[in-house]
Structure 1
Amino acid sequence: MYSNLPNFVLGFHGCDKAVAERILLHEDKMRSSDNDYDWLGPGIYFWENNPQRAIDYAQMLRDYPNRSRKPIIEPASLGAIIDLGHCLNLLEQSSLDVLRRGYEILKIKLNNLNTPMPENKYGFGNESKDLLRRYLDCAVIQAVHEYNKETGQKPYDSVRGVFFEGRDLYPGAGFKEKNHIQICVINPNCIKGYFKPTEPIEGFDIP
């Protein structure tokens, strides 16, 4: 009933500047990520309304090139106008209920195969106390997609989730330094266009 959000959202993807420019000129296309630890399953990832996090992520990939498909020379943020379509929106209750059922489906399937459940794991090495390797969450979301396909239900166009990441923003805070919303676009037709983020012009209000 409420899986389709009524408005476009702005997403920002961190990548190399040369890649961003090729996409803006329609000389290249975005490619799905399909790591088994991806937070929201396979798809094209964006930070919702957060160009700075996209830049930060691209800078991280430049510093840790083994985590990137291609080396990043000059970190950049690529903006996108996104229609989430039929969205597994993990900020609302019915989608969370779907995800819980996906976990139960996965558990039954793996029990029948005598295969252990995957586990979410911290960081890459010892540098983070956040669950950055989401093997379990990725597998559960995949189970939801597979169930929809097997039962002939409408597939999801996108997945949207909120994440609480980083250190406390201040002592005793209920907020973290890196809280953010991520979007995983499964259906590339949800992306209505790309743009290069601009800096504010001094002397004018920001509407």
Structure 2
Amino acid sequence: MYKRHASFVLGFHGCTKDIGEQVIIGSSSMKSSANDYDWLGPGIYFWENSPERASQFASEAVDKDPKTTKGVIKDPFVVGAVIDLGLCFNLLDSGALAELKAAHEFLDKALLASGAKPPRNLSGPDRRARFLDCAVIKTMQELRVQQGLPAYDTVRGAFWEGGELYPGAGFSEKGHVQIAVVNPKSILGYFKPIK
């Protein structure tokens, strides 16, 4: 009942400048990520209300971590987007967490019955390669289709990334809220953020 959001949010996407400029003027569109390790499942990824984090991501993809993106980021750039969350699978909501847990139980039983090995989240303490989480999100979306329920337009979650912000902190250096836009019609427009 409370899964439909009645407000817009601003999202920010780190990319290479030539692609970002094409998206802003409308000569190109953003592509959905469909890696089997995408932590919120398939979608177009944005940092909610954080152009700084999007810029940091794009810059780090050039300097240190080129495996983080599909393409090569030569000239870091940030694209802003106005997003209507619509029917949102909000992982900060207890109802969504219960739905996700049920999807995991379904997937776990199906894998056990087939003898297949379950996917695991990998890649250090941040678990940036989220094979298990991606599989569970996909399962949840498939179960909704099978049950005749509407598909989610967006998936939203908090991610605690990086080391402790300060010694003993419960906050992380790169903590953020991220949105995966599943339905591209939820993106109402793009813009170049003001610096």
Structure 2 SS opposite 1:9: strand
**TM-score, length-normalised on structure 1?**
0.90
2:174 matched to which residue of 1? 178
Structure 1 SS opposite 2:29: coil
2:90 matched to which residue of 1? 89
- In the TM superposition, what are the counterparts of 1:40-51 in structure 2 within 5 Å? 40-51=40-51
Q: Are 1:13 and 2:13 an aligned pair?
A: yes
Q: Are 1:160 and 2:156 an aligned pair?
A: yes
1:149 pairs, out of 145, 151, 161, with 145
Distance 1:163 1:66 in 2: 19
Q: What's the offset of the Cα at 1:67?
A: 3.8
What fraction of aligned residue pairs are identical, expressed as a percent?
Answer: 49
Structure 1 SS opposite 2:89: strand
The C-alpha deviation readout for 1:32-87, integer Å capped at 9, x for no partner, is: 00111101000000000011111111122223334432221100110000001111
1:24 matched to which residue of 2? 24
Q: What's the offset of the Cα at 1:177?
A: 0.7
Structure 1 SS opposite 2:117: coil
The C-alpha deviation readout for 1:104-139, integer Å capped at 9, x for no partner, is: 11111111211111111124xxxxx31111000000
Output the aligned Cα RMSD. Answer: 1.1
The worse-fitting range, judged by mean Cα deviation, of 62-71 and 79-88 is: 62-71
Distance 1:66 1:97 in 2: 32
Distance 2:66 2:119 in 1: 26
Distance 1:66 1:89 in 2: 27
**TM-score, length-normalised on structure 2?**
0.96
Q: Highest CA radius of gyration, 1 or 2? A: 1
Distance 2:148 2:10 in 1: 31
- In the TM superposition, what are the counterparts of 1:118-157 in structure 2 within 5 Å? 118-123=119-124, 129-157=125-153
- Aligned residue type for 1:132: R
Distance 1:110 1:130 in 2: 25
Distance 1:173 1:132 in 2: 21
The worse-fitting range, judged by mean Cα deviation, of 155-164 and 66-75 is: 66-75
User: CA 1:4–1:178 in 2, change beyond 3 Å: closer, same or farther?
Assistant: same
The worse-fitting range, judged by mean Cα deviation, of 56-65 and 78-87 is: 56-65
